[in-house]
Chain A
Amino acid sequence: DQQVKQNSPSLSVQEGRISILNCDYTNSMFDYFLWYKKYPAEGPTFLISISSIKDKNEDGRFTVFLNKSAKHLSLHIVPSQPGDSAVYFCAAKVGAGNNRKLIWGLGTSLAVNP
């Protein structure tokens, strides 16, 4: 049973437009959320994160929104660039101390077309 769901396996966007990647979760105990980006033949790299006590975090072209009541977060990329084409993973942290762990989504493949 997937606790972190990225329901869109792929997304295609025109260069310059907004990309919106969605992530839904089921566990209300998640207290920290992260987005990772992965290019082919490379490992994932950390992109942006948000604590559950916030509803928005912005870093340059990337903004993550968190809607706790809906158990939903989204990553907005504005404006989208061809170099943003990659697989984006949503991950959520649960637990404390030595019981902390990350639960990962399956990823969404973003293609930004020139």
Chain B
Amino acid sequence: DGGITQSPKYLFRKEGQNVTLSCEQNLNHDAMYWYRQDPGQGLRLIYYSQIVNDFQKGDIAEGYSVSREKKESFPLTVTSAQKNPTAFYLCASSPRSYSYNEQFFGPGTRLTVL
């Protein structure tokens, strides 16, 4: 089945540690996105990638890093510089950049920093 997978579903880390969230898609989509959801806020864009080996900062990129070495994969690293890392993280992909009505989302990873 085609889709987007995110792992793990729940992740716990100690403060000060970097952590990498996985996002894989087998939809052959060019574009991939990382969002963050916090209570009382809508989804906010962290980073996005329009094509392999290319990515741009979203609205809240500080304290995060990404890579896009393969079309299928867009891992997000939450670094120790991110001041409030505890959140629900959603990965998405779309066939082309900004084709929001064709955006497919993964099930999300809930990160808790202790």
Type the 1/0 row for A70-108, where 1 means its CB is closer than 8 Å to any CB of B: 000000000000000000010101000010111111110
Most chain A CB within 10 A, of B42, B45, B90, B106, is at: B42
B11 at the interface (CB under 8 A from A): no
Main secondary structure of the interface of A (DSSP, over half): strand
Number of CB contacts from chain A to chain B under 8 A: 52
B40 near A91 (CB under 8 angstroms)? no
Given A34-B101, A43-B92, is A102 in contact with B106 using a C-beta cutoff of 8 Å?
no
| Residues of A with C-beta under 8 A to B105 | 42-45
| Residues of B with C-beta under 8 A to A100 | 98
Pick from B42, B56, B91, B103: contact of A46, CB under 8 Å: B103
Type the 1/0 row for A27-61, where 1 means its CB is closer than 8 Å to any CB of B: 00000101000000111111001000000000000
- In this complex, how many residues of chain B approach chain A with their Cβ under 8 Å: the count is 24
Most chain A CB within 10 A, of B59, B106, B108, is at: B108
Distance between B70 CB and nearest chain A CB, rounded to angstroms: 21
Q: Which residue of A lies closest to B39 (CB)?
A: A106
B4 at the interface (CB under 8 A from A): yes
